[in-house]
Amino acid sequence: KINPDRLWQSLMETARIGGTPEGGIARLTLSEDDAKVRAWLAAQTAALGMTLVVDEVGNMFATLPGRNPNLAPIAMGSHLDTQPTGGKFDGVLGVLAGLEVLRSLKDAGLTTEAPLMLVNWTNEEGSRFSPAMLGSGVWAGVYSRAEADARQDAAGESFGAALDAIGWRGTARAGSQRFAAMFELHIEQGPVLEAEGKEIGIVTGVQGLRWFEARLTGCAAHTGSTPMTMRRNALLGAARVIEAVDAIGLAHAPHAVATVGFLEVSPNSNNVIPGQVDFTIDLRHPDDAVLAQMEADLRAAFDTAAGGIGLEGDLRRISKVDAVRFDADCIASVRAGAERAGVCGREIISGAGHDAVHCAAVAPTVMIFVPSEGGLSHNPAEATSAAECATGTQVLLDAVLAHDRL
Amino acid sequence: KINPDRLWQSLMETARIGGTPEGGIARLTLSEDDAKVRAWLAAQTAALGMTLVVDEVGNMFATLPGRNPNLAPIAMGSHLDTQPTGGKFDGVLGVLAGLEVLRSLKDAGLTTEAPLMLVNWTNEEGSRFSPAMLGSGVWAGVYSRAEADARQDAAGESFGAALDAIGWRGTARAGSQRFAAMFELHIEQGPVLEAEGKEIGIVTGVQGLRWFEARLTGCAAHTGSTPMTMRRNALLGAARVIEAVDAIGLAHAPHAVATVGFLEVSPNSNNVIPGQVDFTIDLRHPDDAVLAQMEADLRAAFDTAAGGIGLEGDLRRISKVDAVRFDADCIASVRAGAERAGVCGREIISGAGHDAVHCAAVAPTVMIFVPSEGGLSHNPAEATSAAECATGTQVLLDAVLAHDRL
Ligand SMILES: NC(=O)NCCC(=O)O
Ligand SMILES: NC(=O)NCCC(=O)O
């Protein structure tokens, strides 16, 4: 049995690292606060007698030996970075639940057959450095280390420079740390479990996602003396793309989602017609064929918006993560763990992307969801109760033990 | 006769203060570079034996005595601040042309009846601290000093703190410095003079302008797991307002202009549905009745955009400058000056706002325009030739002398 109070206390303790007045966490990847929470985690795993390896993109792997040194470890974990308006649970729960499982086993004097591993992936959120799930993506060979190092934040600082600056670049080659299976506990970040009164989601897969960076270039000019007919207003073009992106999401209902979440205007002055607008587009669907159609719709809408008012347009896809189905044996372990813990769950497809998506390409993987109040996430008001966190963590423990018995 | 080379050299010399690689100037009001160019101007007027008074919002007034100490001065001037993507002529030309007039009179050993005054107004652009024409507005009593001091830039620094920080807050009460007439030379910032092959514009008035600050508030949430139908996307609302603002400009053709130039998204992350968007709206028309209708159209469109998708909306007008007709005697002096200089001009209404608008409410005022290549302004590529600058400055000299004879 896991210790619910200790779990909750660890959640609240780390929530102060980058904590915001709104009650959330703003702990952007590779920030000073990221370094602090990493040091905290390293100290906790050291206290459990675990061996920590950090790879060249900052992914952290802490291992506890099992009875059989020839077995590859069973891994648990998620990420400790957050959105600028992050809540207290997204990612953090998966890491701290794994830590609680390890602590509970130690308290009970139990040793598993296989070694156990706790993982903290670098830059899952993709908010400071896109794309999302970058650390696990390099680990899985989807991106190279050089590609990751070159990514820049809005201030022009590179991922590589930021990683070096906080002192968390390890020496292990990305991908050298392997495991036999990965169990990621996460909040749902959507409304389904709460609406149906289910305690956990047995996640059978993750929908596909495609991210794009767009630039529209017109001509900066005076708002007062430039006739409407002589304008090349980049923001007007962007407004039309935003409207079109929303329409694409609605057109492929009910499962499609499509969003412009980031947008920057240049020169961004009251009395200057915008000369340039940079923005991102996020398209998702559980069916890759529909997602491909959504991308085609986007490209057509983008060209129409740009061409219609004489703008130059540049639209680049910066990430494409296909829909994933998780491993049947791992799913069975979660189902067995839920039964053992006496918890009521349902199968579910994840709307959000997760490091588990990249793990699934390399090793048997599964996820466990707990409910999110109002389906809200990437918001300081993100809420999952202490009891719900504990239930998910208990299922994680029982699932890992079930898998260890296989 | 003015000295065209000296004028051009002063333009190029000061263009280096805040000069950009693109060939423009980024000399935001109350920046370090603003302080530098102010010091430069103070040194030049001191060298001409002029007396400098700085008022409590940083407006600079340098006076050269005339033969008759009982006469109020005839003023020339404009502003030395620029847009973030400013060119080399907007505002700067009016100040340096006035300086060149004073230097030429000194070279020629001429003294006018009335004293002459050279004015540099603070924060004409309104880009860092809205509204535009703030220094002249306080001088004219349209805004109080306290209102000006409280205005904040995007980084949260106040106008008052910035003015104190660069050390250019004077002791003279705003409005205490008066003049008998104001002549402001400026680039047209529009396409008319170039298109018609006219060397100068005799500016008979300025269209009205109204500026608004808008905020739309929705709910930040996860882009991947929040169904389209559960969203309150503030950026989608803003996109609809941007489209509506453009339509309002087109609907009141040919003289209306309507623009969203500034927009900021929060939290501005690829995978977060925008929870809040702040932006500005700039509406202008030569006829105040039409402008009032445009404002009504904006308010209706804003409410529709916000209400349609469950956003909270806040729309506040932050400036209202009615259309202005300049003084008939001053216009006659410009016409006389142009004739004397043998220059071909036409009457024109200004599309841009100018400090002269506020001056006109207090003293007889007029403006002189020179052509802008391609009508382009608020852009580093803003271009007026040395010959065109010289022609405008010669007309300024002749107009001031004509007025002095009245
Ligand atoms: N779980 C989560 O919020 N991941 C961030 C990547 C995404 O946008 O789905
Ligand atoms: N002349 C000029 O660009 N003034 C700035 C105020 C305005 O936007 O018209």
Distance (Å) from the alpha carbon of B112 to chain A's nearest alpha carbon: 35
Residue of A nearest to B309 (CA): A246
Q: Over the stretch A264-277, which tens digit does the pLDDT of each residue have? A: 999 999 999 999 99
| Cβ of residue A237 closer than 8 Å to a chain B Cβ | no
**Statement: residue A141 has pLDDT above 90:** yes
Q: What is the mean pLDDT of chain B?
A: 97
Q: Which residues, 6 or more positions from B5, have their beta carbon under 8 angstroms from its beta carbon?
A: none
Residues of chain B contacting residue A262, judged by C-beta atoms under 8 Å apart: 265, 268-270
How far apart CA A178 and CA A363 sit, in angstroms, is 8
| Cβ of residue A155 closer than 8 Å to a chain B Cβ | no
How far apart CA A2 and CA A8 sit, in angstroms, is 11
Distance of CA A98 to the CA centre of its chain: 17
What letters, b where the CB count within 10 A reaches 16 and e where it falls short, cover B137-153? Answer: bbbbebbebeebbebeb
Within 184-223 of B, beta carbons closer than 8 Å to A belong to 188-191, 207, 209, 211, 219-223
Q: What pLDDT shows up at residue B406?
A: 86
B125 marked as part of a ligand binding site: yes
Please judge whether B228 and A249 are an interchain contact, meaning their C-beta atoms are less than 8 angstroms apart.
Answer: yes
Largest CA distance in chain B: 79
State the pTM of this model. Answer: 0.90
Please judge whether B257 and A376 are an interchain contact, meaning their C-beta atoms are less than 8 angstroms apart.
Answer: no
Instruction: Tell me what the mean pLDDT of segment A391-395 comes to.
Output: 98
**Statement: residue A406 has pLDDT above 90:** no
Taking Cα atoms as reference points, which of B175, B251, B181, B241 lies closest to residue B212? B241
Taking Cα atoms as reference points, which of B213, B5, B214, B7 lies closest to residue B94? B7
Q: Over the stretch A67-110, which tens digit does the pLDDT of each residue have? A: 999 999 999 999 999 999 999 999 999 999 999 999 999 999 99
| Cβ of residue A3 closer than 8 Å to a chain B Cβ | no
For an interface test with A, give the residue of B225, B281, B318, B357 to mutate (most A CBs within 10 A): B225
Type of residue numbered A384: T
Q: What pLDDT shows up at residue A186?
A: 98
- Is residue A324 very low, low, confident or very high in pLDDT (cuts 50, 70, 90)? very high
Atom in ligand 2 nearest the alpha carbon of residue B377 = 3
Cβ-Cβ pairs closer than 8 A, A with B, add up to 269
- DSSP structure string for A77-138: EE-----TTB-SSTTHHHHHHHHHHHHHHHHTT---SS-EEEEE-S--S-SSSSSSSHHHHH
Residues of chain A contacting residue B376, judged by C-beta atoms under 8 Å apart: 219, 221-222
User: CB-CB: which of A220, A259, A280 is closest to B378?
Assistant: A220
* Ranges of chain B with pLDDT below 50: none
Three-state DSSP at A169 gives: coil
Taking Cα atoms as reference points, which of B203, B254, B195, B200 lies closest to residue B374? B195
Q: What pLDDT shows up at residue B192?
A: 92
Q: What pLDDT shows up at residue B84?
A: 95
Distance (Å) from the alpha carbon of B235 to chain A's nearest alpha carbon: 8
Please judge whether B224 and A268 are an interchain contact, meaning their C-beta atoms are less than 8 angstroms apart.
Answer: no
Q: Report how far ligand 2's centroid is from the alpha carbon of B193 (Å).
A: 18
Percent of chain B residues past pLDDT 70, beyond the cut: 100
Please judge whether B220 and A268 are an interchain contact, meaning their C-beta atoms are less than 8 angstroms apart.
Answer: no
Q: Which residues, 6 or more positions from B328, have their beta carbon under 8 angstroms from its beta carbon?
A: none
